[in-house]
């Protein structure tokens, strides 16, 4: 029987591990931060933008414009498209259907600027002389010899050299996209496929937005692994140096691992994708749960039955309450962090509060780390901290740029900038255009093209019904039959072939049948338009300066990532603040209930860390993770306030427990400072300053 009791934790761990292994396919970790944004209009737009599959485009440039460079890019094109996994997007050959449409509607797609009929002879003479005298081969348009119709300047972001797409002055460029038959956007498969195929090929530059997802995920995973290893090593060191109880160390590690696995399993039933940051944050939060073990252990709960430890329960309950409140913030990343923390802390607490006393462990070593000789004016500290908070609040700036939370992948950022600069995309912004019908989408595109002359819009060359009818009326009012007659007569006089201009300004071009814009027509022209809930969407590229004007006139939505993230997260910061206030109120009520006589002491444990954190961040804009962690530190700090205010507070066991708890919290969260990922580094910084503040408070004692 004793063996089974001693092995209880191991059995539980094995069971959880078994379930975890069975269900691990359910757990999908994602590094895509935008997937965890709140559900609002900006998120919908970002989702629509993602559906255009721009993230899976691959850009490859071969250096130089010589034959070797062309061969290199051609070989790569052949290799990458051989398996039909990718297809070439950068085919410069004009689309036959598009040419046909442009020919049929030539007079409608061009600007009509007639000239006086007495200039016809001069115009024809100029044409004649051009053919005869131009050193280069010159052609004439037999349908519009007078040049009454002029094509609007075609904005192209592509450059052609030697009949191949070129990337500025660097070399040849090829753009690939996933084959439309690929139903799933598997970034990892794409990443490995491309890198396998370019192996050994020199003098090329490569970029794809998809690489961010793969490389950042790898970096985050390796960071998390490193952080987990460092924090585990610190914990092991702590145990070996002070606790010197290998059995307890072994069981604690098993309990933490069980809690993390169980939390992940349950989270996978709530959400299809779990943020990778949960893994890092989860590893850190599990070290907070060790507090509960230290307090039970150092107060002798594992040595002999001492009954229910209310102090630890209140500490656990307040932290849980904090996470519960923040779970209502409409930001999936924060919701996942909160639910994970609640589950993980609960499982750990159940282990340490109920299972460990049954298993039983040897007596805790008797030692004191420091003598609390200082008398700290906790009341004064509370007041000063409050004043600091009030004074710093007006200077607090919130940064809602989600990119600041992500991994700073310098290599990819450099590659992306290189391609953007060469493609002259710097200073341009992608836009999303939406309309109730395809015809309206074309109408809007044409309007945007007028208002933003340098815009790149796939639909602006098409004709919507309204524009068609307007143009038809203009052309009907002009006397083309007389013009044609004069052209034929004058052309003969000038020496042109007889009846060469007999098709000039003919009826089929002047009065064509309107071609309705349909999905089939667009597909045949290679134009991709999306439909979602009866709304039609297309993309475009405009000068960044024009975006505000287009948005103000409800013509387009900016797809500039930073703006969209900021808009999507604008509500989140208010919610975070409100949840913080609610959480603080809850803490105060709990404190009023359990320690009405030690309120100021407890408050100092909440306010002093916050004041110090705010001071440490003065001059910096706070990210959402700073803000979130600030409130979490508040919920964690109160644990220490509660322990300190406990009747047995002056016992060295309590102080040792608090000291160990702080060390373990630092081991978990402190190491995050060294992370290269914004979100983790911000969490780490706030937690470390918080731990430091708590440690200072712990050094002193109250005036007797």
Partner 1 sequence: MTLKSLVILFCFALTLFAHESSSFKERRYSYALDKDIFFEGFITFNDASIMIEYVKPESKVLTYFEEKLSIQDDKGFWSVDAQQMPSLSYLFMIIKAVHEQNSLLLERFFDATTQENQTKLLPKEAVAHVLEEVIITYQNKRLHSLHVKMKNKDRIEIEILD
H or E segment to which residue 275 belongs: strand 273-275
Residues in contact with partner 1, shown as a per-residue x/- string from 487 to 526 under the rule CB under 8 A: --------xxx--x--------------------------
Q: What does the CA dihedral 374, 380, 386, 387 come to, rounded to 10 degrees? A: -120
Considering Cα of 644, then 649, then 650, then 651, what sign does the dihedral take? negative
The least distance separating partner 1 from the CB of residue 131, rounded to whole angstroms, comes to: 5
Rounded distance between C-alpha atoms, residue 701 and residue 250, angstroms: 34
Is 302 a residue that touches partner 1 (CB under 8 A)? no
CA distances 376 to 599, 614, 690, Å, are 15, 22, 18
Residue 150 per-residue DSSP state: E
* Beta strands at 273-275 and 149-150: parallel, antiparallel or unpaired: unpaired
CA distances 520 to 49, 214, 464, 524, 597, Å, are 21, 35, 16, 6, 77
Is 70 a residue that touches partner 1 (CB under 8 A)? yes
Is 68 a residue that touches partner 1 (CB under 8 A)? no
Our CA angle for 173, 178, 182, nearest 5°, is 170
Residue from 26, 89, 161, 408 touching partner 1 (CB under 8 A): that is 161
* Beta strands at 171-178 and 530-532: parallel, antiparallel or unpaired: unpaired
Subset of 94-113 contacting partner 1 (CB under 8 A):
94-96, 99
Rounded distance between C-alpha atoms, residue 631 and residue 613, angstroms: 11
Is 203 a residue that touches partner 1 (CB under 8 A)? no
Is 391 a residue that touches partner 1 (CB under 8 A)? no
Our CA angle for 58, 62, 67, nearest 5°, is 140
Residue from 114, 142, 152, 377 touching partner 1 (CB under 8 A): that is 142
Is 200 a residue that touches partner 1 (CB under 8 A)? no
Taking CB under 8 A as the binding criterion, the range among 27-35, 126-134, 332-340, 559-567 that sits at the site for partner 1 is 126-134
Is 179 a residue that touches partner 1 (CB under 8 A)? no
CA distances 20 to 23, 178, 325, 336, Å, are 5, 34, 28, 18
Rounded distance between C-alpha atoms, residue 83 and residue 65, angstroms: 27
Torsion angles phi and psi, residue 509, rounded to 5? -90, -30
* Tokens (6 digits) for 163: 């009949």
Neighbours of 563 (CB within 10 A): 16
Rounded distance between C-alpha atoms, residue 452 and residue 607, angstroms: 53
Is 242 a residue that touches partner 1 (CB under 8 A)? no
Residue from 1, 113, 135, 513 touching partner 1 (CB under 8 A): that is 135
Residues 6 or more apart whose Cβ sits within 8 Å of residue 186: none
Q: Tell me whether residue 424 or residue 511 sits nearer to partner 1 (CB atom).
A: 424
Q: Tell me whether residue 469 or residue 489 sits nearer to partner 1 (CB atom).
A: 489
The least distance separating partner 1 from the CB of residue 136, rounded to whole angstroms, comes to: 6
Is 140 a residue that touches partner 1 (CB under 8 A)? yes
Q: Tell me whether residue 494 or residue 650 sits nearer to partner 1 (CB atom).
A: 494
Residue from 1, 2, 3, 93 touching partner 1 (CB under 8 A): that is 93
Is 473 a residue that touches partner 1 (CB under 8 A)? no
CA distances 410 to 218, 415, 428, 506, 673, Å, are 14, 9, 21, 59, 19
DSSP string of 136-167, one letter each residue: S-----TT-TT--EEPPPPP-S-EEETTEEEE
Is 71 a residue that touches partner 1 (CB under 8 A)? yes
Is 365 a residue that touches partner 1 (CB under 8 A)? no
CA atoms within 13 A on the CB side of 419: 21
Taking CB under 8 A as the binding criterion, the range among 88-96, 210-218, 298-306, 371-379 that sits at the site for partner 1 is 88-96
Taking CB under 8 A as the binding criterion, the range among 113-121, 125-133, 179-187, 436-444 that sits at the site for partner 1 is 125-133
Residues in contact with partner 1, shown as a per-residue x/- string from 25 to 64 under the rule CB under 8 A: ----------------------------------------
Residue from 122, 126, 162, 222 touching partner 1 (CB under 8 A): that is 162
The least distance separating partner 1 from the CB of residue 187, rounded to whole angstroms, comes to: 31
Q: Is 620 left (phi over 0), alpha (psi -120 to 50) or beta?
A: beta
Is 247 a residue that touches partner 1 (CB under 8 A)? no
* Tokens (6 digits) for 224: 């998390």
Is 65 a residue that touches partner 1 (CB under 8 A)? yes
Spell out where 553-665 has E strands: 557-558, 621-623
Is 618 a residue that touches partner 1 (CB under 8 A)? no
Residue from 160, 375, 391, 647 touching partner 1 (CB under 8 A): that is 160
The least distance separating partner 1 from the CB of residue 157, rounded to whole angstroms, comes to: 14
Residue from 133, 199, 304, 703 touching partner 1 (CB under 8 A): that is 133
Residue from 40, 128, 467, 488 touching partner 1 (CB under 8 A): that is 128
Q: How many residues make contact with partner 1 (CB under 8 A)?
A: 29
Neighbours of 374 (CB within 10 A): 10
Q: Tell me whether residue 202 or residue 498 sits nearer to partner 1 (CB atom).
A: 498
The least distance separating partner 1 from the CB of residue 515, rounded to whole angstroms, comes to: 19
* Tokens (6 digits) for 160: 């052609």
The least distance separating partner 1 from the CB of residue 104, rounded to whole angstroms, comes to: 14
Q: Tell me whether residue 27 or residue 88 sits nearer to partner 1 (CB atom).
A: 88
Q: Tell me whether residue 91 or residue 188 sits nearer to partner 1 (CB atom).
A: 91
Burial class (CB within 10 angstroms; exposed 0-12, middle 13-18, buried 19+) of 122 = exposed
Determine what percent of the chain falls in helix, strand and coil, rounding each to the nearest 5: 65, 10, 25
Is 1 a residue that touches partner 1 (CB under 8 A)? no
**What is the contact surface with partner 1 in residues (CB under 8 A)?**
65, 67, 70-71, 74, 93-96, 99, 128, 131-133, 135-137, 139-140, 142, 160-164, 495-497, 500
């Amino acid at each position: 029987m004793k063996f089974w009791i001693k092995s209880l934790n191991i059995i539980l761990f094995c069971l959880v591990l078994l379930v975890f292994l069975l269900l691990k396919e359910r757990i999908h970790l994602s590094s895509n931060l935008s997937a965890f944004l709140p559900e609002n209009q900006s998120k919908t737009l970002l989702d629509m933008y993602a559906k255009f599959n721009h993230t899976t485009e691959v850009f490859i440039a071969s250096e130089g414009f010589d034959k070797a460079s062309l061969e290199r890019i051609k070989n790569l094109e052949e290799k990458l498209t051989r398996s039909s996994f990718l297809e070439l997007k950068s085919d410069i050959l004009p689309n036959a259907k598009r040419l046909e449409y442009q020919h049929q509607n030539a007079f409608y797609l061009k600007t009509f600027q007639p000239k006086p009929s007495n200039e016809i002879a001069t115009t024809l003479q100029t044409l004649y002389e051009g053919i005869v005298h131009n050193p280069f081969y010159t052609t004439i348009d037999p349908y519009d010899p007078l040049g009454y119709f002029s094509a609007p300047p075609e904005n192209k972001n592509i450059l052609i050299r030697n009949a191949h797409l070129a990337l500025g002055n660097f070399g040849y460029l090829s753009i690939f996209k996933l084959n439309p038959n690929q139903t799933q956007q598997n970034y990892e498969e794409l990443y490995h496929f491309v890198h396998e195929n370019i192996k050994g090929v020199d003098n090329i530059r490569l970029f794809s937005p998809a690489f961010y997802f793969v490389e950042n995920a790898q970096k985050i995973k390796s960071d998390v692994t490193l952080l987990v290893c460092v924090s585990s090593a610190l914990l092991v060191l702590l145990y070996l140096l002070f606790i010197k109880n290998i059995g307890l160390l072994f069981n604690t590690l098993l309990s933490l691992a069980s809690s993390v696995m169980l939390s992940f399993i349950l989270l996978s039933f709530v959400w299809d994708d779990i943020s990778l940051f949960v893994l890092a944050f989860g590893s850190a939060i599990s070290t907070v749960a060790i507090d509960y073990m230290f307090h039970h252990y150092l107060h002798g709960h594992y040595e002999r039955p001492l009954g229910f430890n209310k102090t630890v329960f209140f500490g656990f309950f307040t932290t849980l309450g904090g996470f519960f409140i923040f779970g209502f913030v409409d930001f999936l990343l924060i919701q996942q962090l909160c639910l994970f923390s609640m589950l993980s802390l609960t499982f750990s607490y159940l282990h340490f509060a109920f299972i460990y006393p049954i298993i039983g462990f040897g007596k805790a070593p008797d030692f004191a780390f420091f003598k609390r000789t200082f008398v700290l004016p906790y009341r004064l500290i509370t007041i000063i901290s409050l004043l600091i908070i009030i004074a710093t609040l007006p200077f607090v700036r919130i940064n809602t740029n989600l990119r600041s939370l992500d991994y700073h992948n310098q290599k990819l950022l450099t590659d992306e900038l290189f391609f953007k600069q060469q493609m002259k995309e710097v200073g341009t912004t992608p836009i999303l255009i939406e309309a109730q019908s395809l015809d309206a989408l074309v109408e809007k595109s044409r309007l945007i093209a007028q208002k933003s002359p340098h815009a790149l819009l796939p639909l602006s060359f098409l004709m919507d019904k309204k524009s068609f009818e307007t143009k038809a009326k203009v052309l009907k009012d002009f006397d083309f039959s007389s013009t044609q007659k004069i052209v034929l007569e004058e052309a003969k006089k000038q020496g042109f072939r007889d009846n060469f201009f007999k098709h000039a300004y003919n009826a089929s071009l002047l009065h064509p049948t309107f071609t309705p814009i349909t999905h089939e027509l667009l597909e045949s022209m290679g134009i991709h338009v999306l439909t979602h809930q009866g709304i039609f969407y297309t993309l475009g590229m405009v000068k960044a300066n024009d975006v505000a004007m287009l948005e103000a006139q409800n013509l387009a939505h900016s797809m500039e990532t930073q703006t969209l993230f900021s808009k999507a997260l604008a509500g989140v910061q208010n919610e975070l603040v409100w949840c913080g206030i609610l959480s603080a109120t809850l803490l105060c009520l709990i404190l009023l209930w359990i320690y009405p006589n030690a309120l100021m002491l407890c408050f100092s444990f909440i306010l002093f860390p916050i004041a110090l954190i705010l001071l440490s961040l003065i001059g910096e804009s706070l990210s959402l993770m700073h803000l979130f962690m600030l409130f979490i530190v508040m919920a964690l700090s109160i644990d220490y306030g509660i322990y300190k205010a406990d009747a047995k507070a002056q016992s060295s066991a309590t102080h040792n427990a608090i000291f160990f708890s702080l060390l373990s919290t630092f081991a978990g969260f402190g190491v995050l400072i060294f992370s290269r990922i914004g979100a983790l580094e911000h969490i780490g910084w706030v937690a470390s300053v918080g731990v430091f503040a708590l440690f200072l408070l712990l050094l002193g004692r109250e005036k007797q």
